[in-house]
Amino acid sequence: MEQVAKYPTEKLKCWNEAKQIRMKYYQDYAEAHDKGGLRWAGGAWTFDSIPAGLGDDVYPITSEPYGATIAFDKKLSLECMEAAEKEGYPRDLCSYMRNYWGSIIIDKYPFGYSGQGEFVPIFQGAKALKFPKPDFIWQDHICCSHAKWYQVVSDLEGGIPMFTVDNAVGPSNELTDSKIKFVVEQLKDGIKFLEKVTKRDYNDELLFKAIRNHFISTSKWAEICNLNKAIPAPLDEKSIYSLYVLGTLQKAGKQVADFYEKTLLPEIKDRVKRGIAAVPNEKFRVMSDTQPPWSFLSIFRYLEKFGCVSIGSLYTFGLIGQWEIKKDGSWGAKTIPDVEFSNRDHALYEYVKYELHKPEWQHFYSCHLKSDMMIRIAKEWKLNGVMLHYNRGCEGLTVGIAENRLALLDAGFPVMAFEGNNADEREFDEARTKAKINAFMETIGAK
Amino acid sequence: MITMGIDIGAKNIKVVILKDNKIISKSNVLAGFEVEKSAQEAINKALKDAGIKKEDLDKVISTGTGEKLAPFYNETKSVVGCDSLGAVFLHPAARSVIDVGAEEGRGMRCDETGRVLDFEVNEKCAAGAGAFTEAMSRALEVPLEEFGPLSLKATEEIPMNAQCTVFAESEVVTMVHNKVSKANMARAVHDAMASRISSMIRKIGFDKDVVLIGGVAKNVGFIDSLNKDLGLKVVVPKDPEYVGALGAALAAAGWKGGK
């Protein structure tokens, strides 16, 4: 095994700031009512700029990162899974969703206050708060679970006003004016719905600001991921998971846009300039795909023993990042639209037109679109192989993955597939996966 | 150069000692619950049969699910890597290797040096491994060594749809109630197992020279079902259960193809 450091390495300076943003997010949501604010729930994929127009004291909780947060706490996750199963929800449903529902059923939030009054995760010794019931649900629907997820949430909570936007209008290379307007009109209806259920007047200026934040967060995140083309890679996938998550929480939030643009991006640029590596013995580069088994992120550290860095994935690059093909044919961060919003309709049109290009939405329409993007990453990020997670916990992102495997092999990239579950640790075999990694590292010459 | 390969599998521990790439001894011991002790026993036996001492060994490589439980070794190497080396050494035309052991089924594609190009391993399921035939032979009250030959006497193909050992056993119970003959049931079990292994090997692709190794390669019923499913005749080397340990010993000797 390669143990010799080839490159200098250092910890990310912004690490604590990223952690604070995340903790404040969950605290703000929990304490929203104490300050006279509102709480809303919806997916990490939803058009989160829209509820921002209701005021600066409206706090979200996005479902997938919440499910992952619970998954990271193995004891709590098992409690949630078993509670959901006891209610009759089967084990083959989305595992994030089962964690989320379980958290409502057992009425436990994964956070609470320590003896010193600090807001911390309960695995750090705090007593769990009760699950903070949202005031309304604002969701999108492209994955088969999206709207159904919140229908159950609403039922479990005794009825919560809910609005869902159908954004499954086809791939971005077939986008038309009418498809954009189809989504825009739903958002306009949604704004009326929000005004009615919250009894608040909608503020378009706040909407415009949120959309601009959204543009910045998603473009700058792509720019950060693009910097990982450098050898050595300044970021490894385990760190990327901790950073991309901010975008999944609130990409329309100023704190996230500022963090990506003013803190993280300059730091990563500086790391590239100085040749600072995430993995100091980097010799081999791979990427993964779909959500990882959150309880077992140690597999990414395990790669380092072989001098192998996982540089990210289409999932982490494309769930938050917005991309475009540059003049030289390579992938780069999507240019932020240079527009002044004249009115609500105009802002919503630009927002939808931009957002429907999200890479992670494309493979719901065709696995070939995903294969093309993965092959592009494998080539441009100079990879030696690919690790595919056959993720039983997320049918939406795993569908077509076997086709992706064949396409990557045809393109000349060795592939290792491993089975697991993003949030149900009962479906992951760590020892066998590590044995597979051993064999895969031999295959690509890293052992 | 004298090298040793140790293959610590789920059920058995196999040891092969090579001198200038020629097998001078081999041993096979049940792993049991005290794996380290059993591994030492297997090593002692192989050393004794070879007439050498531990100090005479130039290099030792350990492989298998319990590779780290070997009492001593210089390196570890993956099972698929060792399997491919051993198979190509014994059958130089081999480019596809299937290893069906007690706990796992594996498929590999490799090059002429035995280097693995692609591989697949069955996960969390015993239906593609030796443990499946053992469970089924128990259910049918047929000694394991008679289970394969019995299958060749089948007169009918009966599909078995279960994807796991537990459910397969309940299908067998249904067959018993339906008065299906034991030979036909044995064939159904081997067909189901072969189907699972074939699916795995198809995923990575295979050539005409397919080598079958591992303990289950001694089961004539399974071989027959696999041949039918793949539409070819797999090559089964002598002592197929030792091929992983042989590959480990070859890796220790730095063998990379040729004789």
Question: Do A363 and A377 contact (CB within 8 A), yes or no?
Answer: no
B111 and chain A: CB distance < 8 Å anywhere?
Answer: no
B118–A438 C-beta distance less than 8 A: no
Residue A35 pLDDT > 60 = yes
Tens of pLDDT along A275-304? 999 999 999 999 999 999 998 999 999 999
Structure tokens at A102: 């379980």
| Tokens (6 digits) for B170 | 């309940």
Task: State residue A220 phi and psi, 5-degree precision.
Answer: -70, -35
- Torsion from C-alpha of A447, B6, B7, B13, nearest 10 degrees: -160
The nearest alpha carbon in chain A to B123 belongs to A419
- Look at A432 and B78 and tell me if their CB atoms are within 8 Å: no
Can you point out the beta strands (E) in A143-283?
162-166
Query: Mean of the per-residue pLDDT values for chain B?
Result: 91
Q: Do A435 and B79 touch (CB under 8 A)?
A: yes
Q: Looking at the complex, does the CB of residue A438 fall below 8 Å from at least one CB of chain B?
A: yes
DSSP A441: H
Q: Do B87 and B214 belong together in one domain?
A: no
CB contact under 8 A, B116 and A436: no
Q: Which residues contact A185 (CB under 8 A, 6 or more apart)?
A: none
**Cα(A234)–Cα(B251) distance, integer angstroms:** 35
Q: Please write the tens of the pLDDT for every residue from A99-121.
A: 999 999 999 999 999 999 999 99
Worst-scoring range by mean pLDDT, A166-180, A362-376, B185-199?
B185-199
pLDDT more than 70, % of chain A? 99
Residue of A nearest to B114 (CA): A443
User: Are the CB atoms for B206 and B109 separated by under 8 Å?
Assistant: yes
Asked whether the beta carbons of A145 and A94 are under 8 A apart, the reply is yes
User: What is the percent of chain B where pLDDT is above 70?
Assistant: 95
Considering only alpha carbons, which residue of chain B is nearest residue A417?
A: B120
Write the DSSP symbol of residue A129.
P
Average the pLDDT over B123-130 and give the result.
Answer: 68
**Encoded amino acid at A28, one letter:** D
Using the predicted structure, report yes or no on whether residue B127 has a pLDDT greater than 70. no
State the residue for tokens 């329409």: A365
What's the total number of domains in chain B?
A: 2
Q: How far apart are CA A226 and CA A230, in angstroms?
A: 8
Q: Are residues B54 and B3 in the same domain?
A: yes
Q: What digits encode the pLDDT tens for the residues B18-33?
A: 999 999 999 999 999 9
Pairing label, strands A38-42, A58-62: parallel
Q: Does the CB of B84 have a partner CB in chain A at under 8 Å?
A: no
In chain A the first and final C-alpha atoms are separated, in Å, by 6
* CATH value at residue B194: 3.30.420.40
CB contact under 8 A, B118 and A436: no
Which chain B residues touch A409 with a CB distance below 8 Å?
Answer: 118
Sheet holding B12-19: strands in order across? B22-30, B12-19, B2-8, B59-63, B75-76
Nearest CA in chain A to B83: A439
- Both tokens of B22, joined, read 């020629």
Mean pLDDT, chain A, integer: 95
Interface of B with A in 89-108 (CB under 8 A): none
| A contacts of B77 (beta carbons < 8 Å) | 442
Q: By C-alpha distance, which of B210, B6, B21 is closest to B110?
A: B210
Of chain B, the end-to-end C-alpha distance in Å amounts to 15
How far is residue A142's CA from residue A165's CA, in Å, rounded to a whole number?
9
Subunit contact A438:B78, Cβ cutoff 8 A: yes
What confidence score (pLDDT) does residue A101 get?
Answer: 97
User: Residue A408 to residues A7, A207, A356, B88: CA-CA distances in angstroms?
Assistant: 29, 41, 25, 26
- What is the predicted pLDDT for the residue at A242? 95
Residues B168, B103: one domain? Answer: yes
Nearest to B67 by CA among A170, A438, A151: A438
What residues are paired with A288 via a beta bridge? Answer: A313
Q: What is the mean pLDDT of residues A16-41?
A: 97
Helices (H), A264-358: 265-274, 298-304, 314-320, 344-355
pLDDT for position B130: 82
Q: Three-state DSSP class for B27? A: strand
A439 touches chain B (CB under 8 A): yes
Place of tokens 């009109």: A185
Range with the poorest average pLDDT among A15-24, A400-409, A419-428, B233-242: A419-428
User: How many CB atoms are closer than 10 A to CB A231?
Assistant: 16
Nearest to A316 by CA among A405, A367, A389: A389
Q: Which residues contact B11 (CB under 8 A, 6 or more apart)?
A: B30, B31, B101, B102, B103, B130, B215
Q: How many Cβ atoms are within 10 Å of A401's Cβ, its own excluded?
A: 20
In this structure, the answer to whether residues B197 and B221 fall within a common structural domain is yes
Does the pLDDT at position B164 exceed 80? no
B56-86 pLDDT, tens per residue? 999 999 999 899 999 999 999 999 999 999 9
Q: What is the mean pLDDT of residues A65-90?
A: 94
Shared domain check, B206 and B130:
yes
The structure tokens listed for B48 are 């004794």
Chain A interface includes B199 (CB < 8 A)? no
3 state DSSP class of A143: coil
- Does the pLDDT at position A2 exceed 80? no
Q: Decide if A110 contacts A69 (C-beta within 8 A).
A: yes
Give Cα B195 distance to the centre of its chain.
17
Report the C-alpha gap between A105 and A84 in whole angstroms.
Answer: 7
Q: Is the pLDDT of residue B136 over 90?
A: no
pLDDT of B162 above 90: no
B81 shares contact with chain A (CB less than 8 Å): yes
CA–CA separation, B36 and B18 (whole Å):
22
B116 CB neighbours in chain A (<8 A) are: 439, 442-443
Answer yes or no: is pLDDT of B192 > 60: yes
Q: Give one DSSP letter per residue of A185-205, joined into a string.
A: HHHHHHHHHHHHHHT----HH
Instruction: Name which of B144, B98, B152, B96 is nearest B122 in CA terms.
Output: B98
CA angle B237, B238, B240 (to 5 degrees): 70
Please, which pLDDT band fits residue B246 given cuts at 50, 70 and 90?
Answer: very high
Confidence of residue B138 (pLDDT cuts 50, 70, 90): confident
Contact B213, B86 (CB under 8 A): yes
Q: Which residues contact B238 (CB under 8 A, 6 or more apart)?
A: none
What average pLDDT does the segment A197-207 reach? 98
| A141 beta partners | A166
Q: What are phi and psi of A323, to 5 degrees?
A: -125, 165
pTM of the model: 0.87
- Amino acid in the structure at residue A169: V
pLDDT at A1: 53
Q: Which residues of B touch A436 (CB under 8 A)?
A: 121
Confidence label for B163 from pLDDT (cuts 50, 70 and 90) = low
Which residue in B79, B116, B124 is closest to A443 by CB distance?
B116
Q: Is A161 on the interface with B (CB under 8 A)?
A: no
pLDDT at B208: 83
Residues B106 and B198 in one domain: yes
Residues B59, B159, single domain; the answer is no
Residue whose entry in the numeric block shows the structure tokens 């491919």: B84
Whether the CB of A419 is below 8 Å from some CB of chain B: the reply is yes
CB B247 within 8 A of CB B21: no
- pLDDT for res A368: 95
CA distance A75 to A71: 9
Q: What is the ipTM of this complex?
A: 0.74
CB < 8 Å to A447, chain B: 78
Residues B141 and B223 in one domain: yes
User: How far is CA A97 from each of CA A134, A216, A361, B190, B222, rounded to the nearest angstrom?
Assistant: 16, 29, 19, 39, 42
pLDDT in the model for residue A45? 92
CB pairs under 8 A between A and B: 41
pLDDT tens, residue by residue, A144-163: 888 999 999 999 999 999 99
User: Closest chain A residue to B81 measured between Cα atoms?
Assistant: A439
Instruction: Specify the residue for token string 């290792």.
Output: A416
Structural domain of B81 = 1-91+239-259
Q: What is the DSSP letter of A422?
A: S
CB nearest to A429's CB, from B117, B124, B203:
B124
Å between B156 CA and nearest CA of chain A: 34
Backbone angles phi, psi at A412, to 5 degrees: 95, 15
Flag if A415 and B76 touch (Cβ within 8 Å): no
Domain ranges across chain A:
15-443
Q: Of A415, A427, A435, which is closest to B78 when you measure between CB atoms?
A: A435
For A31-35, A413-417, A425-429, B91-95, which range has the lowest pLDDT when averaged over its residues? A425-429
Q: Which stretch of DSSP H or E encloses residue B84?
A: helix B79-90
| Contact residues on chain A for B120, CB-CB shorter than 8 A | 417
